[in-house]
Amino acid sequence: MAQSPNSEVLESEMKDTKPPIFWGDPARTGAASDFRSDVVTTPSLAMLAAIANATLHDDVYCEDETTSTFERDMASLCGRESAAFVISGTMANQLAVRSLLDQPPYAVLADAHAHIVHWEAGGVAHLSGAMVQSIRPLNGRYLTVLDAIKHAVITDDVHKAPTRVISIENTTSGTVIPLTELQRLKKWATKNRVAVHMDGARLWEAVAASGNTVKEFAQCCDVLTLDFSKNLGAPMGAMVVGTASLIRRLKRIRKSIGGGMRQAGVLAAAAQQAVLENFPNGQVDTKGILKSSHKLAKRVELMWTEKGGKLLRAVETNMVWLDFGGSGVDTKKWNEAGKRHRIKLDGKRIVLHHQICEEAILRLGAVMDEFLMATAKMPKSTKDERKSLLLARL
């Protein structure tokens, strides 16, 4: 994963390009003032230089050195046999789940809040033909072995769709699933012949927050997905990591849905550089770039709570979940206020990333003032009426 010797020269030349280009400039791209997601982070000049140095061979024929090297590096990082580079985290998850399933009927057990349930266009149903068993975790935060024991269908009863995969997401809504919990779940799943898929789109955040390594988390599942655009700044790209036989099967399925890429190196190079820049050690966050966004999240938490606001979840990584119901905040008006203050908001979830600027944090504070100070001045009867109205809408 070493940077090409020509990258520094190319990067220097591109800095002098007139007019200025968007690469390496979060202020120009808008990422510096965007709190909607960490997927809005934009690529650096070094990533553009890496693209210029990428090999241009055919990855469908497994001949592209840049892509193959990156796949081997990620497999090694995770302590697994093989890996496949794909376009997006959604494609990674869908291919991962499908590759674990053989003969239907079958079901996938997942958190009711999971990305594969709400944000992947029903892919589990139409690509895998699987029933989704979506459940609310007993602890209210993340799936554990107790949820699997309670809800997984492990039976020969012909009326039931047997649970063949448990899908977990780490982090889940910004909350880290502890390594010990994952180890217990994997042990139970293996004993009961159920595969475990880990959506690791934000596993980098879990590693930065917990101090555990990527490899330790990767041993707690049968197939792992990693994303390079969320808070790492790659323009796109994700990786599926697992056994050699699973990845061979996955690549055939990837081709069948149009996911085979010819000169894939131009994308793999940028993703590889994103890891090199932001997570250079690979196993732990030695550079502290992701931890910096966690500190920003704690700062935003304090800004909100000191003004009287309440939270829906504890802040562990780079997400802050604001309790709008308890503060009488209307989502539409909140988002509109963000536009007036020249920041992008998307409701109660505030996502911090390393490209957020100081000015954006101050503007976010001003938006908070608009709503929380107005609420503080309301008569109690009005507050109760607004709260009842919000609850009636739920």
For the cut 60, the answer to whether the pLDDT of residue 31 exceeds it is yes
What pLDDT, on a 0 to 100 scale, did the predictor assign at position 14? 62
Give strand pairing partners of 311. Answer: 322
Residue 162: φ, ψ to 5°: -70, 140
Q: Rounded CA gap, 48 and 90, in Å?
A: 24
For the cut 80, the answer to whether the pLDDT of residue 2 exceeds it is no
- pLDDT tens readout for residues 277-296: 999 887 888 899 999 999 99
Segment 221-246 shows an average pLDDT of: 97
What pLDDT, on a 0 to 100 scale, did the predictor assign at position 282? 76
- pLDDT tens readout for residues 351-386: 999 999 999 999 999 999 999 986 655 555 555 554
Percent of the chain with pLDDT over 70: 90
Structure tokens at 382: 């009005």
Per-residue confidence band for 394, with pLDDT thresholds at 50, 70 and 90: very low
Task: Give the number of residues written for the chain.
Answer: 394
For the cut 50, the answer to whether the pLDDT of residue 393 exceeds it is no
Domains and CATH numbers, the chain: 45-278 (3.40.640.10), 289-393 (3.90.1150.10)
Average pLDDT value for the chain: 92
What pLDDT, on a 0 to 100 scale, did the predictor assign at position 12? 66
Per-residue confidence band for 390, with pLDDT thresholds at 50, 70 and 90: very low
- pLDDT tens readout for residues 112-123: 999 999 999 999
Residue among 30, 36, 48 nearest 277 (CA): 48
For the cut 80, the answer to whether the pLDDT of residue 264 exceeds it is yes
- pLDDT tens readout for residues 44-92: 999 999 999 999 999 999 999 999 999 999 999 999 999 999 999 999 9
Percent of the chain with pLDDT over 90: 87
- State pTM to two decimals: 0.90
For the cut 80, the answer to whether the pLDDT of residue 16 exceeds it is no
Segment 140-157 shows an average pLDDT of: 97
Burial 195-217 (b: 16+ CB within 10 A, else e): bbbbbbbbbbbbbbbbebbbebb
